[in-house]
Chains A and B, each alone.
Chain A
Amino acid sequence: MEDTNLTFKVVIIGDSGVGKSNLMTRYTANEFSQDTPATIGVEFMTKSIKIEGRDAKVQIWDTAGQERFRAISRSIYHGAKGAMLVYDITNQTSFDSIPTWLQELRVFVPATCSIFLIGNKCDLEHLRVVKKEVADRFARENGLSFLETSALEKTNVEKAFEWLAKSVYDLVVAPVDAAGGRRPPLNAAANAKRPVNLGASNDGQAAGKKENTSRCC
């Protein structure tokens, strides 16, 4: 077993205004601000965690929601082991953009990158426009893990990042360890484990959540 400290990179992407920066600051510094300015370029923070008993450091890169140049995207995505695709449950447009973000992400990251779909601002249930079932189906169809969060109320934020870190560990680090340090073929690693769908309605973790039955308009 390697003794070196683990370090891996996570990128947070999604439309402008969905709450990417507050997700990052809530997780790394336990801070939420109503005064967060628009991100210009990227922001960077780190968090030290323990995973499978080992010390690890997560590098989190928060991006500007409007940046579309691939030259710039390439440098931000380079080396990312995990990604969060964030939308705002009160903003249909931000969810409609997710396929575009996913397509762009997949151009730049390897198949072993763990990708989570995050529906943020779940505290604003009364303003919800993106049904959980719709997002859940999209996540399953595209091989993403799914979770709803609230950076404001700190709901599921810690959980989202730690599950992402665990997923990265399982997909990339553990197979290397198991092979005695030899790096397995990417295909094998990619198939080692399907992403856990944390948003599934039958998931025990979500059992406590209030059920919302669909209503006709």
Chain B
Amino acid sequence: MEELRNIHHSAQEGRLEEALLRRVLDFARHRPFHAFHSLRWRLLLGLLPVNVEAGRHFHEWEECTRAGIRDWNEMNDNLQQRLVATDSAVRPVEKKGLVSKDEFSSFSSSSSCPDDGESRTVENPLLPGVGSLYALRYCVDTIRATAQKDLDRLHWDFPLFEKSTTRKALMDLIVNYCLRHDYEYKQGMHEIAAFIFYLNHTDSALLEEISKSPEEADKALIDGFGRICPINGVMAMTFSLFENVMGGSGLRLYEWYHSSEEYARDGIATASHRTQRELLAEFDPVLHHQMNVVYEIEGTSYLIRWLRLLYLREFSIPQCADLWDVFLSERFLARHDDYSLNNSIVTMLAASMLFYVKQDLMVGCIDALKRLMKYPPVEDVGTLVEMTIMQQDPKKNGIGRYFTPPERHELFGSKTPPPMEETSALATSSALLSPIEVMNQQGTILASIIARLELLWMPSSDAMSNDAGHAAETHARTIEELKKVRDVLLFSNGSKTHYA
């Protein structure tokens, strides 16, 4: 509910964009799985307008939702009707020059099936004409034959996926998407679709559940969002999100599935090579050399799965929801500028992940490959996000402005440095203090940083429990805090005071 209240109030006040980004990118707060990720993503992808006139958000979002449901129903109903028509067709349309081997070819009566206006180019001259219903049936059957194997092997441990209606719904989505965009089905698309479907369904079902016994004060809020995330609109919302995650106006994930050239500039092979050869070198030249020169590991061997599935097999569902929040926030901030998936946080995250398990990767080639094939569970993806954003946006011109890194004070027990909020508050209020007080305050912060660094080098019961990953986390966070101290000392009002 807090999520809905936050969205509602900030939209009412006309400041939704800023509030949404800060909330979505806040890894210091607890991040509940039921944070209405599907709603966030629709906003970040522009499926629901963010720059909505103050106070009119419910009306406009409801209109967008209704339009989306109408479009999906029309498209899917039209497809199903045409498929039924193929079953009752007298005979398929025969194009000039094509010889039909259909069993109905001996019929002399002419076909009454209408052609549609599809402009798809026929590459195989032996295939039926593009406009015919038979061609449609052939395309659908081809998509279904390959996608069905993968959907049958989708064994996510949720009751939702045991329903045959769920598999049919996902199949309909995949078929409609491939036909509309003239793409073949590619393995992995089924999991992207399933993940989006699951989150849409979870969010809509949650709203429906809450609406049965709402707090009086929240009733209008729940009613409003109930029409924006309706349970009977889950397929429509899923299709819209899937189409945008895959498509050019969104993440452009299709480039990693459907590039026609092997080394297309934005293809999966190029992305894999770039990640392991260029981005990793930026992170850690030693690890880069080990992976590329000593081991000669091909990036495609593990990155195809990491990247095409946007890490769905590497992290838990809730963690992936949080990661996608970051990916789509970056996309939102890019607006109409050139957005390149190959040069995004998605690929930089892979380099961070390699660095995070450097200790395992340095042991030997076989152990490294095993680790790449089965990435270890990560307690808090916020640490990986932090490393990634610092590398991607070190000057905080873009996404770094809105990102709040996770707290890790519990790692150091009684020597906990000040909590982030307190540190930020101190930094913010420094202008009100005298120059000497500012210097003393920053000196205190430096002392806590030094104490933390000493812990990493001096054995103690706490320090022994740390691993290389924690060292990397501490390193990243320490740099961040040192930058803040630098900024305060160099740029605050206090620095302008001259001493006698």
Contact = CB atoms under 8 A, between A and B. Distances in A.
B269 A69 contact: yes
B490 interface: no
Interface string B283-306: 000000000000000101111110
Nearest to A66: B187
A36 B298 contact: no
A65 B262 CA distance: 17
B57 interface: no
Nearest to A75: B298
Contacts of A71: 262-263, 269, 300
A62 to B, nearest CB: 10
A37 interface: yes
A72 B366 contact: no
B320 interface: no
Contact of B366 (A35, A59, A76, A78): A59
Interface in A54-72: 57, 59, 61, 64-67, 69-72
A67 B272 CA distance: 15
B184 to A, nearest CB: 9
Question: Is chain B's interface secondary structure helix, strand, loop, or mixed overall?
Answer: helix
Interface string A102-119: 000000000000000000
A17 B187 CA distance: 11
Interface residues on B, range: 20 to 34
A23 B268 CA distance: 27
A35 B301 contact: no
Given A66-B187, A70-B262, A71-B269, A41 B302 contact: yes
Q: Max chain B CB contacts within 10 Å: which of A41, A44, A67?
A: A41
Contacts of A59: 366
Contacts of A192: none
Nearest to B301: A42
Interface in A34-53: 35-46
B466 interface: no
Nearest to B372: A44
Given A37-B153, A72-B300, A76-B300, 4 more contacts: A37-B191, A40-B187, A44-B373, A70-B262
Interface of B: 146, 149-150, 153-155, 186-188, 190-191, 262-263, 268-269, 298, 300-305, 308-309, 313, 366, 369-370, 373
Interface of A: 16-17, 35-46, 57, 59, 61, 64-67, 69-72, 75-76, 78
